[in-house]
Amino acid sequence: MTMVYFFLGLLIFWSVLLTAIFRFEKRMAWPYGELQPEPPFADPTGYGAARVEEAVANGFTLLGWARDLKGPKYRVSYAMLISPDRNLFAIVGAGSILQIQLTATWLFTPTSDGRCYYSTDHQAGVQIDLSHHWTNQLVPGANFPQLLQEHQNWVGTNAVVPRCLTRGREMAEFRTLRQEHYLHMARTGLIGFTDASAEYFHFTLTGAARTATWGYFLGMARQLSRGRFPRSA
């Protein structure tokens, strides 16, 4: 019985802590700076260069590198890439946040109805959307070809009808996709914007509690199952 109480206490502690973090953390709908030809920050892990090389070998075009705009403690470089058929937008992130190392790759498939499916290789790259406007899967530890294959299989299983991005306007259209995503979350009461331009937002108290609690259980389930359960979230 003592272990049961300990486990319940641990769940309550983390749920409350994460709810507070989600509620008070100020976030950005578009955290990426202007594109430049080289990474703005050093990457001692070599993750960013390796993943970009793998992506280019799989036919992706590197659009450029962007810095994280959230502040001086966010020293993360993001490589932006587009697939040959222009219906898959890839981001490779490498750097540190508050001196904590971050490496993650995201593959985004915009859909014809304005939604989005994305895959990532790291739990830190998952952001839960309880409105289900965006849906994610986790493929922990995958290299780029593995992540790409798992992503393509997944969107095929879900009968996703992708939308191609316009040549030369990939970044602008991806930015619009993100803005529409957060506007949708605001309409469902999960977040609230702090400025008229809808650039900065906080989770509402209800949105923070629901997202933090579900995200905690989701993270544990995926860690135990190596991302296999639940596959979509």
3 state SS for 129-188: CCCCCEEEEECCCCCHHHHHHHHHHHHHHCCCCECCCCCCCHHHHHHHHHHHHHHHHHHC
- What local confidence, expressed as pLDDT, does residue 133 receive? 97
C-alpha 28/C-alpha 197 separation (Å) is 11
- What local confidence, expressed as pLDDT, does residue 199 receive? 95
- What local confidence, expressed as pLDDT, does residue 67 receive? 98
Tell whether omega for the bond before 230 is within 30 degrees of 0, i.e. cis. yes
pLDDT beyond 80 at 1: no
Confidence of residue 14 (pLDDT cuts 50, 70, 90): confident
- What local confidence, expressed as pLDDT, does residue 21 receive? 86
- 97 vs 4: which has the higher pLDDT: 97
> What's the mean pLDDT when you consider all of the chain?
94
Full-model pTM: 0.94
pLDDT beyond 80 at 5: no
Q: Provide the edge-to-edge strand list for the sheet that holds 74-82.
A: 61-67, 74-82, 89-97, 100-110, 116-120, 134-138
